[in-house]
Amino acid sequence: MSDLPFVRDEVRGFTPYAPGLSIDEIREKYGLARVIKLASNENPLGVSPLVVRALERTAPLAFRYPRGGNPVLTAGIADHFGLDPAGVAAGNGSDEIIDLLIRVAARPGLDNVVAFNPCFSIYVHQSRLCGVDMRQVPLAGDFSFDFEALLSVVDENTALVFVTNPDNPSGRAVPADELAALSGRLPARTILVVDEAYADFADPAKDYTLLPRLKDFPNVAVLRTFSKMYGLAGLRLGFGAMSPALADYLRRVRLPFSVNLMAEAAGLAAMQDGQFIAATRETVLRGRAGVAAALAGLGCQVCPSMANFLMFTPPLAAARVFEALLGRGIIVRPLASYGLPDRLRVSLGSDEENAAFVAAMREILGQAG
Ligand code: PMP
Give the dihedral of Cα atoms 163, 164, 169, 172; nearest 10 deg.
Answer: 90
Question: Residue 65 pLDDT > 90, yes or no?
Answer: yes
Q: Atom 13 in ligand 1: which residue has the minimum CA distance?
A: 93
155: domain CATH number is: 3.40.640.10
Q: Which residue is closest in CA terms to ligand 1's atom 2?
A: 197
Domain boundary (226, 250, 273) is at 273
Residue 38 lies in a domain: yes
For residue 92, give the ligand 1 atom closest to its CA.
16
- Which atom of ligand 1 is the closest one to the Cα of 164? 3
Length of the chain: 369
Is 3 contained in some domain? no
pLDDT of residue 31: 85
CB atoms closer than 10 angstroms to residue 2:
6
pLDDT reported for residue 2: 58
Closest CA to 358 of 312, 320, 319: 312
Residue bearing the CA closest to ligand 1, atom 6: 197
> What value does the mean pLDDT take over residues 246-257?
96
Q: Is 362 left (phi over 0), alpha (psi -120 to 50) or beta?
A: alpha
Q: Quick count: other Cβ atoms within 10 Å of Cβ 207?
A: 13
- Return the half-sphere exposure (C-beta side, CA atoms, 13 A cut-off) of residue 31: 0
Are 247 and 344 contained in the same domain? no
**Which ligand 1 atom is nearest residue 91's CA?**
15
Whether residues 174 and 53 share a domain: the answer is yes
Distance between alpha carbon 173 and the CA centroid of its chain, in Å?
13
Q: Which atom of ligand 1 is nearest to the CA of 227?
A: 14
Q: What share of the chain is helix, strand, coil (3-state, %, to 5)?
A: 45, 15, 40
Q: Which residue, 241, 273, 305, sits at the end of a domain?
A: 273
| Predicted local confidence at residue 114, as pLDDT | 98
Residue 228 structural domain: 49-273
Same domain, 240 and 328: no
What local confidence, expressed as pLDDT, does residue 28 receive? 86
Assess contact for 240 and 222: CB atoms under 8 A.
yes
Q: Is the CB of 197 under 6 A from ligand 1?
A: yes
Instruction: Tell me if 94 CB under 6 Å of ligand 1.
Output: yes
The percent of residues above 70 in pLDDT, for the chain, comes to: 99
For residue range 332-369, what is the model confidence (pLDDT) as tens digits? 999 999 999 999 999 999 999 999 999 999 999 986 44
Number of domains in the chain: 2
Contact 164/197 with Cβ under 8 angstroms? Answer: yes
Query: pLDDT digit string (tens) for 83-94?
Result: 999 999 999 999
Could you tell me the distance, in angstroms and rounded to a whole number, from the CA of residue 93 to the centre of ligand 1? 7
228 Cα–ligand 1 center, Å: 9
CATH number at residue 314: 3.90.1150.10
- pLDDT tens column, 109-139: 999 999 999 999 999 999 999 999 999 999 9
pLDDT at 27: 87
Q: Is 319 a member of any domain?
A: yes
Contact 283/348 with Cβ under 8 angstroms? yes
| Average pLDDT of the chain to the nearest whole number | 95
Kindly give the number of the ligand 1 atom that is closest to the alpha carbon of 120: 3
60 and 71 housed in the same domain:
yes
The residues facing 313 across adjacent strands are 301
163: β partners: 194
User: Residue 66: is the preceding peptide bond cis (ω within 30°)?
Assistant: no
On whether residue 369 sits in a domain, the answer given is no
Q: Hey, which residues does 117 pair with through a beta bridge?
A: 138
Range of weakest confidence among 31-35, 68-72, 97-101, 361-365: 31-35
Beta strand extents in 62-102 (DSSP E only) = 88-91
d(CA 207, CA 197): 15
Closest residue by Cα to atom 16, ligand 1, is 93
Element (H, E) at 275: helix 274-297
Q: Is residue 338 part of a domain?
A: yes
The C-alpha atoms of residue 295 and residue 279 are separated, in whole angstroms, by 24
Q: 132: Cβ–Cβ under 8 A, 6 or more apart, which residues? A: 102, 106, 107, 108, 109, 111, 112, 113, 159
Dump pLDDT digits (tens) for 252-272. Answer: 999 999 999 999 999 999 999
Query: In this predicted structure, what is the pLDDT of residue 366?
Result: 86
> Distance between CA atoms of 118 and 213, rounded to whole angstroms?
28
Name the residue of 17, 116, 225 whose CB sits within 8 Å of the most ligand 1 atoms, as the mutation to test its pocket: 225
Q: Are residues 111 and 208 in the same domain?
A: yes
- 230 & 312 share domain: no
42 and 173 assigned to the same domain: no
pLDDT in tens, 141-195: 999 999 999 999 999 999 999 999 999 999 999 999 999 999 999 999 999 999 9
- Same domain, residue pair 133 and 206: yes
The finding on whether 164 has its CB within 6 A of some atom of ligand 1 is yes
In one-letter notation, the amino acid at residue 7 is V
Torsion of CA 306, 310, 315, 317, to 10 degrees: -130
Is the CB of 195 within 6 Å of ligand 1? yes
Q: Do residues 192 and 263 share a domain? A: yes
Whether residue 112 sits in one domain with residue 223 = yes
pLDDT of residue 18: 78
Instruction: Write out pLDDT tens, residues 7-54.
Output: 999 898 888 887 777 888 888 888 888 999 999 999 999 999 999 999
CA of 225 to the centre of ligand 1 (A): 7
Do 180 and 248 lie in one domain? The reply is yes
The answer to whether residues 267 and 280 belong to one domain is: no
Residue 1 maps to a domain: no
Domain boundary at 219, 241, 273, which? 273
Interface confidence (ipTM) of the complex: 0.99
Average pLDDT of span 225-242: 98
Contact 328, 365 (CB under 8 A): no
* CA distances from residue 172 to 4, 55, 123, 164, 168 in whole angstroms, order as listed: 43, 35, 18, 9, 8
In a domain, 297, yes or no: yes
Report how far residue 92's alpha carbon sits from residue 261's, in angstroms, rounded to the nearest whole number: 11
Average pLDDT (207-218) is 95
- Is residue 146 in some structural domain? yes
**43 C-alpha vs ligand 1 centroid, how far in Å?**
13
